[in-house]
Amino acid sequence: MLADVEETTPEPDRWHAGLDIGLLVLRLGLAMVMGAHGLQKLFGLFDGPGIGGFADALSGMGYTGQTTLLSWITALAETGGALLLAIGLFTPLGAAAILGVTINIVITKFQGGAGYFETELELLVGVAALTLLFTGAGRIAVDKNTPWRRKPGAFGLFGLLLAVAASIVVIVMFR
C-alpha cells in the first residue's frame, strides 16, 4: 500500500519542461511589462514621466498626500518586482510587489469611473502576479532550492496578504 502512495506522489524537484518553461515565460513577460512601466517612472525612459511627472499624474488621479513619495514607492515596486521576477529571486516578494501596484491601479481606475474594459489589462497583470505567487518561479530560477519554491502555497498566501496590506496602506495614507 505504501508503495502505491509513493508512486503517485509528485516529486517536487523533478524536471517538468512544460511547467518550468511556462513559468519562465510568464515571469519574463510580466517582468518586461512591469519593468518598462517602472523605468518610465523611475528614469523617464520610454517617453515616461519620471518621478515628478508621475507625482503630478497621481495628483490628477485623486491622490492628495505625498505624491512624490508614492511615485518613488510605485517606481521601485514595479522595477524591483520586475527584476526579482526576471531572475527568479525572492519570487513571492517580487510578485507581491507587482500585485500590490496593480490592485491600486485597478481601484484607482474604478473610483475614477472606469469600467471593466478600461481595466482588463491591469487585471490580467494582477492575475499573472497572483499566479506566480501560488506556483512559484519554477526550476529555471535562482529560487529553485528555496523553501518558497518547495511550498509555494504558504508563501503565496503570505505574499497575497502582503500585497493587500500594502494596497490598503497606500489608499489610507495617500488618498
Mean pLDDT of 109-123: 95
User: What is the model's pTM?
Assistant: 0.89
**CA within 13 Å, CB half, 63:** 25
d(CA 122, CA 21): 24
Minimal CA–CA distance to 76: which of 101, 109, 104, 105?
101
Asked if pLDDT for residue 50 goes beyond 60, the answer is yes
- Cell readout for 59 is 495628483
One-letter identity of residue 51: I
> Cβ(35)–Cβ(83) under 8 Å?
yes
Share of the chain above pLDDT 90, in %: 81
d(CA 76, CA 70): 10
> Where on the phi/psi map is residue 114: left (φ > 0), alpha (ψ -120 to 50), or beta?
beta
The residue assigned the cell 518586461 is: 32
- Position with higher pLDDT, 95 vs 150: 95
pLDDT (0 to 100) of residue 3 = 52
- Res. 152 pLDDT band, cuts 50 70 90: confident
